[in-house]
Structure 1
């Protein structure tokens, strides 16, 4: 092979898909589903201690009333409407109504600071904003002088509505119902007039540096995402989704697009602390989540087993020993010997079925996205009969570009391209994407838009990757790769994810060492799992800071660091580390609203400590 040939980009292409057979826009995509779904369940959501269910027909009427209400407020095509709220049923109805009224939703994470909330609503020129409760309304009122264009606020919580510039969502829907009585087809006519290249959503990326950028997502992108999922035959109208992901993030929003095309019902509750309880009640067949959720679930099971008797620990270890062999043979397409099959059935009843029961007992698969999933954790879930289908994408391509499928997946990769999607590996290793779901650009940022695409119009992801047996494997984030003073390249996310898979008590593990002669790390502890561990270590009444500096904790974490180092190349090993006296959070400015670590902020705030490692 010549040098010129070796430098040519590698390209993966998804199956063909007929774009002409798709709905023109996301509003019609939803209204078509309402017609097809009729009285079948569309959503269920908690009201106090019980769950309420609504049919597609009922959702359609609510959305049409609300869309008509927005039109009475003078909403024009592509004008922005903010939603400042956690994930809940009203978020979905509001978003669908904005699209059916030809507006464009601007998403704001509920944990976004007042300053950034005002920036997003102002930069996007929102004329209307939905808010969840008094807390979110207070952010807007605090900065209302910076938002002269914001004419109306609509509250999900009716208690905070004042009837003037703050309406309740029910009041707005009532106005819309009156409007529809005089203009019965106003919403459907408005929806049919929306172009495929019309703005549907502005999602502001919670960047780890600088101001967030508004990603302009068009109607055709959401339609394509849903149709691409349906074309892969992963889901149908018999499935039940449990949705808790932030809908301000493209991952959660893309799952809604899949629902519109596939027709499955969705149980919605964004309360993270109720996920495990709700899974037992809802008993979904699939769920999407970021890797941190799987890490925490794995840690919870691991720590509970560690507190069991030696007999139960031995049973657990034996089950996973046999289960690993069976799972590997299944993935390789090899036959499973009779003795293994018999042993596996026994361990499935005694161990694996009980693990699956924690997630409701009906899960067909999980979907993982938004960050890299550790291979060991993926294999652990797979052995327990809970396949995690890892996918890949970013806000700039409406969340989905590749995914593993239940009948076609390879651990350690992010799968194959969606139908209608092309993925290529540039000569420098960067993953680049082309397809109908790629963004229209960054709002009000022409230079950033130009920098995000290549000369031949491929989206630059900033991730490094490679092709393995026809599957895409992400090997690191280009900007996060660093080189030691010895000339060795280090990929921090891979090391960090590996440690969190090993240590159930770690919340964050942040690696440093650019232009230094060895690698170091800062560690934070997961408040839940470490507090349980502390009780057995004689530290039950201790504060987080005291636990973090105790000799017992340092010895325990040291053992996990040693275990990590045994799995790394010599130049990657962590020579020095320290536990911080607090976990990272959005409130401290060390995490983005989407829970990504602001590496530069953490490094700056702990510069003296890091420099001390190398003194």
Structure 2
């Protein structure tokens, strides 16, 4: 075997080294099923040779769409083993988005999870003429589908087995031909400002990022991790490196609804989830405490300030007095350890977040409970750039710059990156590539700075940094992050600009959290729309806004807010598939509302079309209330 410069080469090594040891686990019908490295090798081999017999050649593209499951994991390796290029799509993509990426990438085959994804693909079948086969791995509901373009996973593996019988050495020969410098995957960026771009990423770049993660958070063969990362996320490929490079066991949870129980059963040593998922865990913890009995609430409220005190002392590199250590130990026994157990994080050594900004308030909250949350900063194009070592966590930074990363800050305060983890360019878009890569430096589009300890600090996307009419500069993501620490706020967008005197926010309420609060306080409501416009809910959110304002500079304080009658929706173009705000689109879509806010109106009528699950369409009419943060009574409403 040549140099280990591709994941398939690591697969061969691991199958020989750890043949009968567990590589993956999948929970199905409440039971964890294990797959050894030999099982994985055979699965990948048959899939790879099945694709080859269908006509897959080196450099061909194969699109993959579905949830994160072992079949998808094996398919990724099979595509790359044949020298193909993986094009992973978000499982919640709508048909038009799928068609664009399949066509733009020139995908020859599509591998899909189930009936839902197949239905979307058949809907656009005539729009994707280059696709020769659609292969699905979950046969449920597919019995009566007879379209000749369809093929089941099992049939593909049968073809692969026959091909292997005729060409017993071919699989490993194909893998040996692969080079680290070749493109392994095309990841389509989330497209906050336009159509998604296909970032070409080599095997070398992926493995470099995986090694950086492992250097900051080392794990041993056989240790457990849980994956909830979508295949379309580049973090998924970096995370897979823990399996290939050091032989950890990747556990695939059964369903989103069973996730917390699955966490508890595995208690992974390393857990990488998105900021939104950490926000959900924080909100869920606060909801559970609020619903708990008097004694549990009493001890939580008694010891959480102790946890904050210890965290703040440690963050400031100050000595923790023995009395605080004793109090924290008591709090850990009665409060924090039981909470960690409920979250499935008792054995977790590396709780990690990445892919978007997470407010320092969340880091401080989890650290107070003994969950030392750490941050990864990176991107599809740049790879892993920085990460917190466990012994050097700065909650305001996005980690310490990784060894091997060349980094500098431009005169415009933009973060520039150079190194072996940087992508190779955008597919079919040399003009955009030349705009973002100059003299080997990738222009991230992020604003930030580096301190004397080599910690990187992220401010916001440069395009999002703005200023008010008085010249005061502000970073929307920072304010939004602090507001989202509230369990009652699901999403929020800060509004301002050079023609505005002050900041306002448009808020998506957390329907579940506020619904429970309303029931507990005997506040009747019927729908999301009705609940969002309740005076009591407005007063509740006003208190959260005042709390956050107390931590902000005077000119960054939020003055007005609106509770939107709906959630921001990726299917409507308001969010990217990674759940980031498409800020320019939102500002344009809600321009009339924004004008009403700054026009000193008290409310604005809206009419929204809604589509029901049975296909019927309806109309929702309401008056959105425009509230002042510092107005104690709203007699005029």
Name the CA shift for 1:536/1:58 in 2 (closer, same or farther; >3 Å).
same
2:221 to 237, 246, 250: 237
State the distance in 2 between where 1:70 and 1:540 align. Answer: 57
2:448 to 456, 462, 465: 465
- Give the conservation status (yes or no) of the 8 Å contact 1:65–1:177: yes
Give the equivalent residue in structure 2 for 1:60.
41
Give the equivalent residue in structure 2 for 1:32.
13
Give the equivalent residue in structure 2 for 1:284.
268
Give 1:151 shift.
Answer: 0.3
Structure with greater contact order relative to length (CA < 8 Å, sep ≥ 6): 1
1:98 to 56, 73, 79: 79
Name the CA shift for 1:557/1:450 in 2 (closer, same or farther; >3 Å).
same
2:549 to 552, 565, 569: 565
- Matching of residue 155 in structure 1 with residue 136 in structure 2: yes
Alignment size in residue pairs: 592
- Give the conservation status (yes or no) of the 8 Å contact 2:225–2:270: yes
Give the equivalent residue in structure 1 for 2:376.
391
Q: Deviations over 1:218-245 (max 9, x none)?
A: 1111222223333445222242111112
Give the equivalent residue in structure 2 for 1:11.
none
Give the equivalent residue in structure 2 for 1:406.
390
State the distance in 2 between where 1:35 and 1:291 align. Answer: 37
State the distance in 2 between where 1:459 and 1:518 align. Answer: 34
Give the equivalent residue in structure 2 for 1:365.
350
1:268 to 252, 264, 271: 252
State the distance in 2 between where 1:273 and 1:451 align. Answer: 43
- Matching of residue 122 in structure 1 with residue 103 in structure 2: yes
> Superposition pairs for residues 288-437 of structure 1, below 5 Å?
288-308=272-292, 311-332=295-316, 334-360=318-344, 361-398=346-383, 400-437=384-421
**SS of equivalent residue, structure 1 residue 235:** coil
Q: Deviations over 1:112-150 (max 9, x none)?
A: 110110010011001110011122112221111221110
Give the equivalent residue in structure 1 for 2:121.
140
**SS of equivalent residue, structure 1 residue 486:** coil
Give 1:22 shift.
Answer: 6.1
Structure 1: which 5+ runs fail to align? 1-20
Name the CA shift for 1:603/1:445 in 2 (closer, same or farther; >3 Å).
same
- Matching of residue 213 in structure 1 with residue 194 in structure 2: no
Q: Which moved more, 1:457-466 or 1:44-53?
A: 44-53
- Give the conservation status (yes or no) of the 8 Å contact 1:512–1:519: yes
Structure 2: which 5+ runs fail to align? 600-637
Give the equivalent residue in structure 1 for 2:621.
none
Give the equivalent residue in structure 2 for 1:222.
206
TM-score using structure 1 length: 0.93
Give 1:291 shift.
Answer: 1.1
Name the CA shift for 1:408/1:235 in 2 (closer, same or farther; >3 Å).
farther
- Give the conservation status (yes or no) of the 8 Å contact 1:87–1:269: no
Name the CA shift for 1:189/1:47 in 2 (closer, same or farther; >3 Å).
same
**SS of equivalent residue, structure 2 residue 560:** strand
- Give the conservation status (yes or no) of the 8 Å contact 2:134–2:150: yes
State the distance in 1 between where 2:491 and 2:104 align. Answer: 32
State the distance in 2 between where 1:198 and 1:172 align. Answer: 26
Name the CA shift for 1:122/1:407 in 2 (closer, same or farther; >3 Å).
same
State the distance in 2 between where 1:437 and 1:228 align. Answer: 10
- Give the conservation status (yes or no) of the 8 Å contact 2:216–2:388: no
Name the CA shift for 1:530/1:494 in 2 (closer, same or farther; >3 Å).
same
Give the equivalent residue in structure 2 for 1:448.
432
State the distance in 1 between where 2:242 and 2:400 align. Answer: 18
Name the CA shift for 1:270/1:197 in 2 (closer, same or farther; >3 Å).
farther
State the distance in 1 between where 2:552 and 2:217 align. Answer: 39
Name the CA shift for 1:332/1:607 in 2 (closer, same or farther; >3 Å).
closer
- Give the conservation status (yes or no) of the 8 Å contact 1:404–1:416: yes
1:75 to 41, 46, 56: 56
Name the CA shift for 1:269/1:215 in 2 (closer, same or farther; >3 Å).
farther
State the distance in 2 between where 1:463 and 1:249 align. Answer: 19
Name the CA shift for 1:153/1:371 in 2 (closer, same or farther; >3 Å).
same
- Matching of residue 46 in structure 1 with residue 17 in structure 2: no
State the distance in 2 between where 1:232 and 1:302 align. Answer: 30
Give the equivalent residue in structure 2 for 1:9.
none
